[in-house]
Amino acid sequence: MNEPAASTPPGAAGSHPLMSIGEVLGQLRVEFPDVTISKLRFLETEGLVEPQRTPAGYRKYSWDDVARLRFVLTAQRDEYLPLRVIRDQLTEWNASGGAAGRQRPTLVAVGPGGEVPGQREQEPVESSELRLGRAELISRSGIDESTLGELERLGVLVSDPAGWFDADALIIARAVAGLAAYGLEPRHLRGYRTAADREVGLFAQLVAPLARQSDPAARSRAAETARELVALSQQLHAALVRVGLRSTLGR
């Protein structure tokens, strides 16, 4: 993973100019096009960045704040780390007197091949932004029409009412194509759908109270909580499978 850029722009070192939240957004969107003002506010409420405030209450960010935000966003995007892990790393570096924005996030859990689960094929966070027809989904995922139909029948793949598939559908289809290379067929995936439905029911109880609030910050927190729960679930599932395969592998 590339180290987050943290150098002070030319001309800023001497005067250390402060930036508005809109200016910070412009800086970050070059590397993180999905970041929003709501996201920056949410990270502030979580204590991951502490911009200064003007007497009128407006946020003012330093270049160190921007570097810190780059670190957090990189850790989420590339390493899929939960916020509490990122917060612990930032706290550790602050205590040691280091510049967190100039560090690389420490990977906490990886897949059996050293990859972060879901990282390589991960589409933009807002899955609804991608719309694929059946032909394009087949072309980009590597499955065939027969397999797509079977996945729909089993409820593993679901299109929207207009017949479009989103980014998550593409991730699922690609995973199915990869498993098929090892001889696994769609019928073998019923358990995945059932297990996912159980998790959805469990996690929904945790995020629904926040999602129902009218406060935008609360809804942002609900979305962030859901992403963390998904990441933790992936880590748990991967670890349990690895443990279960140890006896087969003779380890």
pTM summary value: 0.52
All domains of the chain in start order, with CATH:
12-102 (1.10.1660.10), 127-249 (1.10.1660)
- Within its chain, how far is the Cα of 49 from the centroid? 19
pLDDT of 90: 87
Q: Which residue has the higher pLDDT, 240 or 4?
A: 240
Distance, CA of 197 to CA of 175 (rounded, Å): 18
Contact present, 103 and 92 (Cβ < 8 Å): no
Q: For tokens 């966070």, name the residue.
A: 125
Question: What confidence score (pLDDT) does residue 232 get?
Answer: 82
pLDDT digits (tens, 9 = 90+) for 91-122: 887 776 655 544 555 444 434 333 334 444 44
pLDDT at 152: 93
> Which helix H or strand E contains 164, and what residues bound it?
none
The pLDDT of residue 98? 56
Q: Whose CA is closest to 23, among 76, 54, 65?
A: 65
How far apart, in whole angstroms, are the C-alpha atoms of residue 110 and residue 232?
12
In the block, tokens 């506010």 appear at 41
The alpha carbon dihedral of 8, 12, 17, 19 has a sign of: negative
pLDDT at 13 over 70: no
Token couple for 131: 């719309």
